Amino acid sequence: MNLFERMKKLFSSRKTTPEQPMGVPAANEPKTAPRQDQTKGKKTDPFSIISWGITVFLVISLLGGTLYYKSTLPPVVVTVAPQATQETSQSDGSAPIAADPATVTEGDGGFFPTIFRQLQVKTNIPERPRYEPVTYRVVRGDSMYVIAEDFKVTSETILYVNEQLDDNPHSLRPGMELSIPPIDGLYYTWKENDTFESVAKDHFANAQDIIDFTGNQIDLTDPKVEPGTVIFIPGGSRELRNWAADLPTNERGANTGTGGSNAANTCGGGPVAGGFGWPADDHTLSGNAYGPGHLGIDISAPEGVNVYASGAGVVTMAAGGWNYGYGNVVQIDHGNGYVTVYAHLSSIFVSQCQTVGQGTVIGLAGNTGNSFGSHLHFEIRIGGANVNPYTIVQ
């Protein structure tokens, strides 16, 4: 049989209608099994399998091509100058310093400046210079020393520009409002016939600093100031009232040479100090240190704690009351040119002309006189002139 006859037989067999079964009464119809799910056992479409396979192949090909392309790129070489490495690598854990720009060399030979910086969560905003005074309200626990430290000025500057303090740092009171200048110096009201040179000379300052200070708003092309104008003198100063001079430094006998011009001969001879120790149990300061506006140190001392004689000597003053702001005060002449003063006591245990040894309890710390909180105000004088106790006591 040839090919043509085979194909004809194949098509003729497909077109033959199958023999229809003869009708069967419903009553005699055989029971049939439950209808099966038409989709069960259905063969998977080959086209779906092939299309998914092609898709996965394309994705893998693209990823592989990308990785291969990256691997063929030339490496990036970073060259850091030795100086920059030393400056930016700090072993103490502090913030790195911005180093000299380093060069980053890429494959095409380009150079880009790089600055090494420490990652910071917050942005540091530099402080702008201040040219006007600010007002500060004193709160409980403040001292002249602490306020001066907070505003980066000296205690003397605060005394210069706040007349209500009357040149006495112990005049601070809660609620008092202080004017704080931007830098050290003082304010001055310009008068007739004043010149920059004369004003600067009177206040131990520099004339050009007065002209150049931005807060004074002086025309640099024609510098002049109208009478009555308040200007700021940078670095200027003036004499402060010496409150210590109001409290006489008594002598313990004739010709001892320890009292100065305002001394009075009150007591006879006694022991001579061989050295000086700390007058309180606490060795820290509670506020004001020694300086032109405060001729002693304020030692931390809660009310009622012991106060000790710094050295052997004779008590030349033991007085209660105001005493020019010193409050209850004790003075001891040590017979070697030195006198010590203990102020603001709550109680006094010694009397005038009594001899004491080093370490003798002479009273209790307190808050009397012109005092802002309990502490011990301690002074050392030589011939009536105050010196820094830190250079004397051990």
Task: Give the pLDDT of residue 385.
Answer: 81
Distances (CA, A) of 73 to 65, 69, 111, 185, 355: 13, 7, 18, 66, 94
- CATH 3.10.350.10 occupies which residues in the chain? 134-234
CATH 3.90.1170.50 holds for 243-391: no
- Tell me which residue of 274, 210, 273, 262 sits closest to 236, measured CA to CA: 210
Domain 134-234: CATH class, spelled out:
alpha beta
What is the model's pLDDT at position 107? 46
- CA dist., res. 342 & res. 364, Å (int): 10
DSSP secondary structure letters along 213-269: -GGG---TTS----TT-EEEEET---PPP-GGGGS---BSSTT---S-TT--B----
From-to residues of CATH 2.70.70.10 in the chain: 243-391
Average pLDDT in the 19-44 region?
A: 51
60, with CB counted inside 10 A (0-12, 13-18, 19+), is exposed
CB–CB of 269/334 below 8 Å?
Answer: no
Work out the average pLDDT over 242-255.
Answer: 67
Is pTM, for the whole model, over 0.75? Answer: no
Q: State the average pLDDT over residues 14-27.
A: 49
The string of pLDDT tens digits covering residues 97-154 is: 444 444 444 444 555 555 666 666 777 777 778 899 999 999 877 878 889 889 999 9
Q: What percent of the chain clears pLDDT 90, i.e. is strictly above it?
A: 38
- Reported as a single tens digit per residue, the pLDDT across 305-363 is 999 999 999 998 999 998 888 899 999 999 888 899 999 999 999 999 899 999 999 99
Tell me the C-alpha to C-alpha distance, in Å, between residue 334 and each of 39, 41, 281, 290, 380.
119, 120, 21, 21, 11
Residue 196: CA count within 13 A, CB half-sphere? 17
Assign 294 a pLDDT band (cuts: 50, 70, 90): confident
The DSSP bridge pattern shows strands 355-356 and 313-319 to be antiparallel
Higher-confidence position of 17 and 327: 327
Q: How many helices (H) and strands (E) does the chain have?
A: 7, 16
List CB contacts of 272: < 8 A, sequence separation 6 or more: 312, 313, 334, 335, 336
What is the separation of C-alpha 380 from the centre of its chain, rounded to a whole number of angstroms? 33
How many other C-beta atoms lie within 10 A of the C-beta of residue 172?
Answer: 23
Q: Is the pLDDT of residue 201 over 90?
A: yes
* pLDDT tens digits for range 209-239: 999 999 999 999 999 999 999 999 999 999 8
Least confident of 107-111, 153-157, 385-389: 107-111
DSSP 8-state secondary structure symbol assigned to residue 290: S
> CB burial class (10 A; 0-12, 13-18, 19+) of residue 75?
exposed
